[in-house]
Amino acid sequence: MASLKGPGKIETYDGAGLRVAIVHARWNTVIIDALVSGARKSLLSAGVAEQNIVVQSVPGSYELPFAVQRLYAASHVQAAANSSTGDISATDLLSASTTDLTKPATTTTATKDSPSQAPFDAIIAIGVLIKGETMHFEYIADAVSHGLMRVQLDSNVPVVFGLLTLLTEEQGLERAGLGSGKKHNHGEDWGSAAVELAVKRRGWA
């Protein structure tokens, strides 16, 4: 009997015109790289333009919530600056408050091949935590899970939860499509989730 587990019937959404960021940790790089590739692959196959996918890295998973929050803030302030005149200063970027981010986004229309200057429509946060001998794993997993949820609710942007919390390296390889069982790459699901949420969010504004 087929497994009952999994994301259910696949729904497809058109990612054309979306701007999506992938923020990933560098710990456990082999697994991370495969997950990032999987996410990119499904964003591209949903129609998100290559130039509208921005990839940023941070040292470890603990840094993900802060990086996601600041990257989104910066994209918002940059979009506002582009739609008026003049350059945006570093001070403006750093001072963008949570309140600013929940206001309707000012968007600019990109030509077909130019990168979009709009705020991100969704952000995928990717990290791989592997349990060790101490309590590090529990503290980081808990903090990052709550941090990412807080960022998406406070900032009003979908943040896809691409944090694998693993007991062994093998579990990570399997979930990145690299294991001997050659299971599918969870990064692909995260790319699809980002596109679906970004499209639906436009309708829920």
User: Which positions lie near ligand DLZ, rule CB under 6 A?
Assistant: 25, 27-28, 59-63, 127-130, 132, 136, 140
Task: Spell out the residues 6+ positions from residue 48 whose beta carbon is closer than 8 angstroms to its own.
Answer: 15, 16, 18, 19, 20, 195
Q: Which is nearer to ligand DLZ, 16 or 30 (CB)?
A: 30
Task: Spell out the residues 6+ positions from residue 34 whose beta carbon is closer than 8 angstroms to its own.
Answer: 176, 177, 178, 185, 187
Minimum distance, C-beta of residue 92 to ligand DLZ, in the bound complex (Å): 27
Q: Which is nearer to ligand DLZ, 101 or 159 (CB)?
A: 159
- Asked whether 23 and 57 are in contact (CB, 8 A), the reply is yes
136 is known as an active-site residue: yes
- Helical segments of 84-123, H only: 90-95, 98-102
Minimum distance, C-beta of residue 32 to ligand DLZ, in the bound complex (Å): 8
Q: Which is nearer to ligand DLZ, 131 or 201 (CB)?
A: 131
Q: Which is nearer to ligand DLZ, 64 or 74 (CB)?
A: 64
Number of residue whose CB is nearest ligand DLZ:
60
Minimum distance, C-beta of residue 64 to ligand DLZ, in the bound complex (Å): 8
Catalytic residue among 24, 76, 136, 146: 136
| CA–CA gap between residue 182 and residue 178 (Å, rounded) | 6
The H or E element containing residue 17 is none
Minimum distance, C-beta of residue 87 to ligand DLZ, in the bound complex (Å): 32
Q: Which is nearer to ligand DLZ, 39 or 77 (CB)?
A: 39
Minimum distance, C-beta of residue 38 to ligand DLZ, in the bound complex (Å): 17
Neighbour-count burial for 137-171, b at 16+ CB within 10 Å, e otherwise: beebbeebeebbeebbeebbbbbbbbbbbbeeeeb
Q: Give, in order, the Cα–Cα distances in Å from 145 to each of 63, 129, 151, 169, 172.
A: 12, 12, 10, 20, 18
Task: Give the active site residues.
Answer: 136
